[in-house]
Every structure is written in C-alpha cells, then in structure tokens.
Structure 1
C-alpha cells in the first residue's frame, strides 16, 4: 500500500464512533476495537483479532489510541 499507515482510525465523533478508512476508502464507523476488527476481517484480514488491531503499526489512531472512544 502507498502509505506507512494503510488503515486510519479518525478521532472520536460526538456519538462515540470513529470512522475507519483504508487507502482513502471508508470501511465504516466503529464504536469499539471489536468493530475495527470486523471491518478489517471484511477487508480480507480474517485472522486478525483485537490484539492485532491494538498492536499493529499498520493502523494510525488519530485523536487517541484504541482505548479512546469519547470526545
């Protein structure tokens, strides 16, 4: 992929969701790390779990890490 972080998790919105993008394409709005896992599994990373998402250098967390879901 063209970037250092092919998956970007945007900062939390007022409703507690975070937009998840890969290569500029919106995968969906996550309300937890489990949702991020589901989006990545749907995108072809079936073997990924919550720890993979939390630890991966392929994911750029903007506005807070995987434990930040409120504004």
Structure 2
C-alpha cells in the first residue's frame, strides 16, 4: 500500500465516488464494500468495512464514509 492517501471524491449524480490512490483513479465506489475491495486490491487484504470507515489513510471529500448521494 502506498504512503499516499487514498482520496474518495464527492458522490456524483449516481452516488458513485471516484477512488484515487497515489494520483491514479482506480475506479468508482458506490458503497463501503466497494471501497473495501479497492483497499484489498492495494494490499490490505485483511481489511473490512469497519477498517475502511475508521482509517486515516482515506481522505473523504464531500462527506465521510456514510455519504453516498448528493
């Protein structure tokens, strides 16, 4: 996992949030489960939704882990 923060952008009109790691957009998450998959793919296989919601590695823009709509 990179030392660079993970950035989740504000929800779009469909409720998706772009996921960026080390300056690269990895895809769009629609819920915490999706973010968990992205984090696991980046090397944090033991992580669950609670870890994702609590970590300081993620910069939540436009609302925290409970915001998935505009």
Same fold (TM over 0.5): yes
RMSD, aligned CA: 0.8
Structure 2: runs of 5 or more not aligned:
none
Runs of 4+ in structure 1 deviating by more than 2 angstroms, as ranges, are none
Q: 1 CA distance for matches of 2:10 and 2:23?
A: 15
CA shift digits 1:23-68 (9 cap, x unpaired)? 1111210000000000111111101110000000111100000110
Q: TM-score, normalised by structure 2?
A: 0.92
Q: 1 CA distance for matches of 2:48 and 2:12?
A: 24
Q: 2 CA distance for matches of 1:67 and 1:31?
A: 11
